């Protein structure tokens, strides 16, 4: 390969007059970026050219599709707590980011995406590979900005990182025209941004609301906590645990909040929502005070709103004022970062336990174990289930792995049954429900948490949406473990067709390639498991294998995920069968 | 299609103070369009403070929806502050222009009197047509259309609504203090658009 020599770091540091592209790379370094996911192209070539000199400082992961790049950025951000950075070129490169932007927006994932754009004088002329990415991405970014002059780059980049990670995090897109990338300018010191006059990342905490909330909690007979990803995003796991343990209140989680409290904590009563646990769903309509912490009452959590927790007084803690009263009316709103508000609340609440109330959850749990969980995790005969794959994995990893699930039945099984001992261990597309998310997100998660075992749990439909990222695994030598639970169907759609469309299985029967051969083609080891007796050894082999490994497990075709809150029903109408 | 909430819906005036940034109008408009809501009237203009712009948006909705909308608008990074008010809480005006044939106006004194009664004034008088303007509430400007229609109204146009909040005290002072404490940065527009012939590009 013919390559030009790189410039020395000393020479690079000394330069005062630099190109816009060099300013981008310098800015990223000053913001502490060590990994970028991306795909080069004509309109972002100058940035890639500048990156060439900094390859020893910034690890660039060449993905196989921009969608893979942004999902990898999401996985990186979710696993590490840092900002994910993604490069893409103009036009089709930029538009391929849109799904990931929408996903990151709804799941509050901090990202900075940098897209190349055609020359500024060509804007609006339908130039080659021109797309109005600023307009297209406006509804799915927390902020976006188009740079047409190199001198704007340092401030725009600093602002982008500040907006992406502060307050309620989210994705930001900076679109840089090619002339701005090439333009020479005198670049000053990088000044990190910590204030924007029209932007209030955190609302002011109102002490009187904290007092009102504490009074409600102290007088409650049947209080119930629902927590979401706000606890993780606020790095408030410790504060949350202290609140829960002092108050003695049973707590249930949304899938975005999973892992903030260990799965086996005595006050962790399970998962909320459409495929959540029986007890927390039913008892939502029985509690007297509902304390929502860093969660947004998604429709998948609430079911029918007009029948949701009507008997309860609601305390809602959230950093985003627009979430308060959006879906469920709050009796007491507690605006603020829960890392700051929870200790204030914990101080004012009385130390209590609620044994009788907690026992109610346990009774429902016993019913669910008997009617659903036992058969799902420990089937006595017949074909393998997704649940038993997860159960075996739990036993082998002891809940220490990062589980990256896709969307559909595999996601619900993974979220319901994965044992999670640590925070930032459950990575999935919660709000947008993006099939194809898991494989690239797992790549990113491994870069974000290189010391942890990363296991992808994906269906035969989802894997085929972004299967090209096996190429990224091959080239970057990423140690991710891939479990394809293959039921030969688009399982969740089939389940709905069975339950609500009289088994009219319209286009859900999906054929798969020979995944082991596909993996082999990419230099990835793998094995297909068709018999239960080989499942545990297959999982063991996967986990101990050095490097990436693909394990395909053939599971029963028409298994359903239960419990389930049918569409249009209240959470207390959740079905066990 | 029936709407059970229609009895609670009324006109609301949303006032938005923003930075003067390219693309912000699009972001704000999207907040309405993604909910499939029509904006009845939209006016954007500089405020009394350089660099701070003011949007007046009129929509017909329930207060609950409007409250949620204003929070979503205020979430935008470049939005400084958002208020919403009913028509009773603001003083508002719309301007209308009416083009009518001059010969009709000249010949029919009745028209002239009607214009006076409606507070209209001539803006342009040409041989072929005359343009009148009037300002007022919707029903006032609508009324003049009805009056002029039989006399050969050629064209009519009405501006977006502008509104001043009755209850706000010293918002000008607040804005000025705000600008003094944190001066805004200049808006950057694309200065290369007209250089197409001079710049070589690949």
- Give the pLDDT score at B7: 66
Q: Is the per-residue pLDDT at A459 higher than 90?
A: yes
pLDDT digits (tens, 9 = 90+) for A336-373: 999 999 999 999 999 999 999 999 999 999 999 999 99
Quote the CA–CA distance of A422 and A445 in Å, as a whole number: 14
Coil/strand/helix, residue A120: helix
| CA distances (Å), origin A126, targets A122, A130, A131, A191, A441 | 8, 6, 8, 36, 33
A365-375 tens-digit pLDDT: 999 999 999 99
Residues 125 to 154 of A: which have CB under 8 A from any B CB? 125, 134-135, 138-139, 142-144, 146, 148-149, 152
Active site residue A128: yes
C-beta separation of A522 from A469 below 8 A: no
Of B75, B182, B190, the CB nearest to A322: B75
pLDDT at residue B202 is higher than 90: no
Which residue in B has a C-alpha nearest to residue A322's C-alpha? B71
CB contact under 8 A, B80 and A198: yes
Report the pLDDT averaged over residues A23-44: 97
- Reply yes or no on whether the pLDDT at A209 is more than 70: yes
Chain A contact set for B190 (CB, 8 A):
120, 123, 148
What confidence category does residue B199 fall into, taking pLDDT thresholds of 50, 70 and 90?
low
pLDDT of residue B109: 67
Structure tokens at A251: 């707590």
Contacts of B54-57 with C-beta under 8 Å, sequence gap 24+, read B54/B15, B54/B16, B54/B17, B54/B18, B55/B14, B55/B15, B55/B16, B55/B18, B55/B28, B56/B13, B56/B14, B56/B15, B56/B160, B56/B161, B56/B162, B56/B163, B57/B13, B57/B14, B57/B15, B57/B16, B57/B28
Whether residues B80 and A197 touch (CB distance < 8 A) is answered with yes
**3-class secondary-structure state, position B73:** helix
Q: Work out the pLDDT band at A550, boundaries 50, 70, 90.
A: very high
Q: How far apart, in Å, do the first and last CA atoms of chain B sit?
A: 55
Cβ(A50)–Cβ(A22) under 8 Å? yes
Which residue among A119, A122, A134 sits closest to B23, beta carbon to beta carbon? A134
Handedness of CA A473, A477, A481, A483 (dihedral sign): positive
Cβ(A54)–Cβ(A29) below 8 Å: yes
State the best of A121, A169, A182, A196 to mutate against chain B, taking most chain B CBs within 10 Å: A121
Of A22, A66, A152, A388, the catalytic one is A66
Contact B190 A148 (CB under 8 A): yes
Inter-chain touch A322–B74, beta carbons under 8 Å: yes
* Interface list for A 407-466 with B (CB within 8 A): none
Name the catalytic one among A142, A159, A165, A178. A178
Q: What's the pLDDT tens digit per position in A463-492?
A: 999 999 999 999 999 999 999 999 999 999
Rounded to the nearest 5°, which phi and psi values hold at A416? -70, -40
Nearest Cα neighbor of A277 from A396, A390, A360, A380 is A360
Distance from CA of B9 to the nearest CA of A (A): 18
Catalytic residue among A6, A128, A350, A520: A128
Q: A198 and B79 in contact by Cβ < 8 A?
A: yes
**Cβ neighbourhood burial of B19 (10 Å; 0-12, 13-18, 19+):** buried
State whether residue A119 sits within 8 Å of chain B by CB.
Answer: yes
Contact: B190, A143; criterion CB under 8 Å = no
pLDDT, averaged across chain B: 89
ipTM above 0.90, yes or no: yes
Q: What is the mean pLDDT of chain A?
A: 96
Position A458 confidence tier, pLDDT thresholds 50, 70, 90: very high
Max Cα–Cα distance, chain B, nearest Å:
68
- Chain B interface, mutation test: which of A320, A322, A333, most B Cβ atoms within 10 Å? A322
Which pLDDT does position B108 carry in this prediction? 75
pLDDT of residue B6: 56
Min Cα separation B188/chain A (Å):
9
A568 interface with B at CB cutoff 8 Å: no
Contacts of B67 in chain A (CB under 8 A): 325
Comparing alpha-carbon positions, the chain B residue that sits nearest to A120 is B192
With left for phi above 0 and alpha for psi between -120 and 50, is residue A453 left, alpha or beta?
beta
Outline where A15-139 has alpha helix (H): 20-30, 45-51, 66-80, 92-95, 98-106, 133-137
* Distance between B125 CA and the closest CA of chain A, angstroms: 40
Are A119 and B192 inside 8 Å of each other by CB? yes
The token pair at A10 is: 């000393």
Query: What does the pLDDT look like over B76-103, one tens digit per residue?
Result: 999 999 999 999 999 999 999 999 999 9
Query: Could you please report the per-residue DSSP string of A357-376?
Result: HHHHHHHHHHHHIIIIIHHH
Please indicate if any CB of chain B lies within 8 Å of the CB of A121: yes
Tokens 């699930």 belong to residue = A405
CB within 8 Å: A139 and B30: yes
pLDDT at B26: 95
Catalytic residue among A384, A390, A492, A564: A492
Burial of A512 per CB tally in 10 Å (0-12, 13-18, 19+)? middle
Q: Does A289 have pLDDT greater than 90?
A: yes
* Contact yes or no for A248/A223 (Cβ under 8 A): no
Question: Is A412 marked active-site?
Answer: no
Q: How confident is the model at residue B181 (pLDDT cuts 50, 70, 90)?
A: confident
Whether A57 contacts chain B with CB within 8 A: no
- Active-site residue flag, A464: no
Q: Which residues of A are less than 8 Å from B201 in CB distance?
A: 119, 121-122, 178-179
Looking at residue A432, what is its pLDDT? Answer: 98
pLDDT at A3 over 80: no
Residue A550 φ/ψ, nearest 5 degrees: -115, 120
Helix axes of A66-80 and A98-106: crossing angle, nearest 10 degrees: 20
User: For residue B104, what pLDDT band results from cuts at 50, 70 and 90?
Assistant: confident
| Residues in B touching A321 (Cβ below 8 Å) | 71, 74
Percent of chain A scored above 90 by pLDDT?
Answer: 95
Q: Which pLDDT does position A190 carry in this prediction?
A: 87
Chain B residues interacting with chain A (CB cutoff of 8 angstroms): 18-19, 22-23, 26-27, 30, 34, 67-68, 71-72, 74-75, 77-80, 178, 182, 184, 188, 190-196, 199, 201-202
Q: What share of chain A has pLDDT > 70, as a percent?
A: 98
Helices and strands in chain B, H and E counts? 6, 9
Q: Can you list the alpha helix ranges (DSSP code H) found in A52-152?
A: 66-80, 92-95, 98-106, 133-137
Q: What share of chain B is helix, strand, coil (3-state, %, to 5)?
A: 35, 35, 30
8 A C-beta contact, residue A88 and residue A97: yes
pLDDT tens digits along A423-438 = 999 999 999 999 999 9
The 10 Å Cβ neighbour count of residue A393 is 26
Q: Indicate if A329 belongs to the active site.
A: no
Give me A230's structure tokens.
């706000």
What end-to-end distance do the CA atoms of chain A give, in Å? Answer: 61
Pairing verdict, β B90-101 and B129-136: antiparallel
Residue A380 predicted with pLDDT over 70:
yes
pLDDT in tens, A168-196: 999 999 999 999 999 999 998 889 999 99
A178 as an active site residue: the answer is yes
Find the largest Cα–Cα distance for chain A. 74
């Amino acid at each position: 390969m013919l390559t030009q020599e790189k410039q020395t770091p000393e020479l690079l540091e000394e330069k005062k007059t630099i190109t816009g592209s060099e300013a981008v790379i310098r800015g990223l370094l000053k913001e502490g970026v060590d990994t970028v996911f991306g795909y080069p192209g004509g309109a972002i070539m100058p940035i890639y050219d500048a990156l060439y000199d900094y390859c020893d400082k910034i690890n660039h992961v060449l993905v196989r599709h921009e969608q893979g790049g942004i999902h990898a950025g999401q996985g990186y951000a979710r696993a590490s707590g840092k900002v994910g950075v993604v490069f893409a070129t103009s036009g089709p490169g930029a538009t391929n980011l849109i799904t990931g932007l929408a996903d990151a927006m709804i799941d509050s994932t901090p990202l900075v995406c940098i897209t190349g754009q055609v020359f500024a004088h060509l804007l609006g002329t339908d130039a080659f590979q021109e797309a109005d990415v600023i307009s297209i991405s406006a509804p799915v970014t927390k902020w976006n900005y188009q740079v047409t002059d190199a001198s704007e780059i340092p401030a725009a980049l600093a602002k982008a990182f500040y907006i992406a990670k502060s307050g309620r995090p989210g994705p930001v897109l900076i679109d840089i025209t090619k002339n701005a990338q090439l333009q020479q300018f005198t670049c000053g010191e990088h000044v990190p941004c910590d204030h924007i006059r029209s932007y209030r990342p955190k609302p002011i905490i109102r002490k009187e609301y904290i007092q009102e909330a504490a009074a409600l909690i102290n007088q409650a007979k049947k209080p119930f906590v629902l927590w979401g990803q706000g606890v993780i995003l606020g790095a408030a796991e410790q504060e949350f645990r202290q609140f829960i343990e002092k108050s003695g209140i049973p707590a249930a989680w949304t899938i975005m909040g999973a892992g903030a409290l260990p799965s086996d904590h005595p006050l962790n009563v399970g998962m909320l929502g459409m495929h959540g646990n029986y007890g927390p769903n039913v008892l939502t309509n029985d509690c007297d005070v509902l304390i929502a912490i860093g969660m947004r009452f998604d429709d998948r959590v609430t079911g029918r709103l007009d029948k949701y927790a009507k008997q309860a007084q609601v305390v809602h803690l959230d950093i985003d004022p627009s979430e308060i009263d959006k879906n469920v009316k709050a009796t007491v709103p507690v605006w603020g970062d829960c890392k700051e508000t929870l200790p204030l609340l914990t101080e004012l609440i009385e130390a209590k336990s609620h044994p009788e109330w907690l026992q109610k959850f346990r009774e429902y749990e016993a019913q669910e174990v008997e009617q659903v969980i036992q058969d799902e995790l420990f089937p006595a005969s017949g074909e393998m289930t997704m649940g038993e794959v997860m159960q075996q994995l739990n036993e082998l990893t002891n809940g220490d792995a990062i589980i990256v699930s896709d969307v559909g039945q595999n996601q619900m099984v993974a979220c319901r049954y994965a044992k999670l001992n640590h925070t930032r261990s459950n990575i999935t597309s919660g709000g947008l429900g993006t099939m194809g998310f898991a494989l690239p997100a797992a790549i990113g998660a491994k870069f974000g948490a290189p010391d942890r075992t990363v296991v992808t749990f994906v269906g035969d439909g989802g894997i085929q949406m972004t299967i090209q990222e096996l190429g990224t695994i091959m080239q970057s030598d990423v140690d991710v473990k891939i479990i394809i639970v293959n039921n030969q169907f688009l399982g969740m759609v089939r389940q709905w067709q069975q339950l609500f469309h009289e088994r009219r299985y319209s286009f859900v029967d999906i054929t798969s390639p020979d995944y082991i051969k596909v993996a082999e083609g990419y230099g990835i080891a793998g094995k297909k498991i068709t018999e239960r007796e080989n499942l545990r050894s297959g999982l063991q082999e996967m986990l101990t294998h050095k490097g990436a490994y693909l394990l395909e497990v053939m599971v029963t075709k028409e298994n359903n995920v239960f419990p389930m809150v049918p569409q249009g029903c209240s959470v207390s109408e959740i079905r066990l069968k | 299609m029936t709407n059970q909430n229609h009895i609670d819906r009324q006109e609301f005036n949303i006032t938005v103070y923003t930075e003067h940034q390219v693309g912000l109008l699009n972001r704000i408009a999207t907040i309405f369009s993604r909910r499939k809501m029509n904006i009845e009237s939209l006016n954007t203009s500089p405020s009394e403070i350089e660099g701070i712009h003011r949007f007046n948006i009129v929509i017909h909705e329930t207060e609950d929806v409007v409250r949620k909308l204003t929070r979503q608008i205020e979430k935008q990074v470049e939005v400084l502050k958002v208020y919403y008010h009913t028509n009773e809480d603001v003083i508002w005006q719309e301007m209308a222009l009416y083009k009518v044939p001059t010969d009709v106006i000249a010949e029919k004194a009745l028209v002239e009197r009607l214009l006076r009664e409606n507070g209209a004034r001539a803006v342009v008088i040409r041989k072929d047509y005359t343009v009148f303007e009037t300002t007022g509430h919707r029903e006032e400007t609508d009324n003049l259309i009805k009056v002029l229609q039989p006399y050969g109204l050629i064209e009519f146009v009405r501006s977006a609504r502008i509104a001043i909040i009755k209850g706000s005290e010293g918002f000008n002072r607040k804005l000025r203090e705000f600008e003094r404490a944190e001066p805004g940065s200049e808006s950057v527009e694309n200065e290369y658009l007209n250089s197409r012939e001079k710049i070589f590009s690949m």
